[in-house]
Structure 1
Amino acid sequence: MQKELTYEDIQLGDTATFSKTVSEFDIYQFAGLTGDFNPMHIDADFAKKTFFKERIAHGLLSGSFISTVLGMKLPGPNTIYLSQNFKFIAPVKIGDTIKVIVEVMEKRDDKKLITLKTQVRNQREELVVDGEAVVMKKD
């Protein structure tokens, strides 16, 4: 296990990643947790008639893995998530392996605020989610 970072340890340009293969089970679990049973995500026959021609993961499922990096790696435990914006660029499909990449872009020492670029890419290195998060790191 890596050493827990303090606010002072974190530098501009620092990065951290997390990878996960998105399964059908993940999509059903997310639908159950959120109540979002949009048939585009859970009904293969319906999804075949859509623009994507197959089921896709919820956009926020893909985006939610950013929280994994922020809370567990960079900045890590004791991080308070203040804001996040997302731009959904491309769909994530069942079986896609996504990689979350966060990068420290700015630090505000007076309030221990950190602004991070947040991106999710698929196994082909295509950008699927682009965004920015602001967090507070408590030591």
Structure 2
Amino acid sequence: MSYAFDDLHVGLSAEYRKTVTETDVVLFAGLTGDNNPMHIDEEFARETRFQGRIIHGMLTASFLSSVIGMKLPGPGCIYMSQQLRFLKPVKIGDTVTARAEVAELLPEKQRVRLVTICSVRGEPVLDGEAMVWVPRR
């Protein structure tokens, strides 16, 4: 689905869900070069306060790109900025729900402010807000 700027209204929302796998973490580490042992070395991570591996925070955040780029507003929008606050760790096997909700419309520049949140089992693990440009019809 794709929305034109004229179709959007405050309160409109969409979600994307993804269960994070071992393969996702390995591929993300390979693509980004972030081989922090917190993400890839169980023996190391077991000795930390998380008592095991956690997925990359930016991997969790990337699911926001999926909901924004593919659902709300969807194809054709341009991501301009994203503020993030990491709240809780995400582990391999967790299902992340990324949600975006229209918080403000700025018609003069065709921009939309979105409230963004990622959750696992209903608990927020990341929150923030995004600004996107959206084409008109």
TM exceeds 0.5? yes
What amino acid is aligned across from residue 64 of structure 1 in structure 2?
A: S
Partner residue, 2:128: 131
Q: What is the CA-CA distance between 1:138 and the residue it aligns to?
A: 1.9
Secondary structure in structure 1 of the residue aligned to 2:109:
coil
TM-score (norm 1): 0.96
Identity across the alignment (%):
49
Q: Does 1:66 align with 2:59?
A: no
- Unaligned segments of structure 2, at least 5 residues: none
Distance 1:5 1:48 in 2: 44
Task: Give the 5 Å matches for 1:97-112.
Answer: 97-112=95-110
Shift of 1:15: 0.3
Query: CA shift at 1:107, angstroms?
Result: 0.5
Q: Which residue of 2 aligns with 1:80?
A: 78
TM-score, normalised relative to structure 2: 0.97
Cα-to-partner distance string for 1:3-23 (whole Å, 9 max, x where unaligned):
x31110011100000000001
Number of aligned residues? 136
Quote the Cα distance in structure 1 between the aligned partners of 2:73 and 2:127: 19
**2:114 matched to which residue of 1?**
116
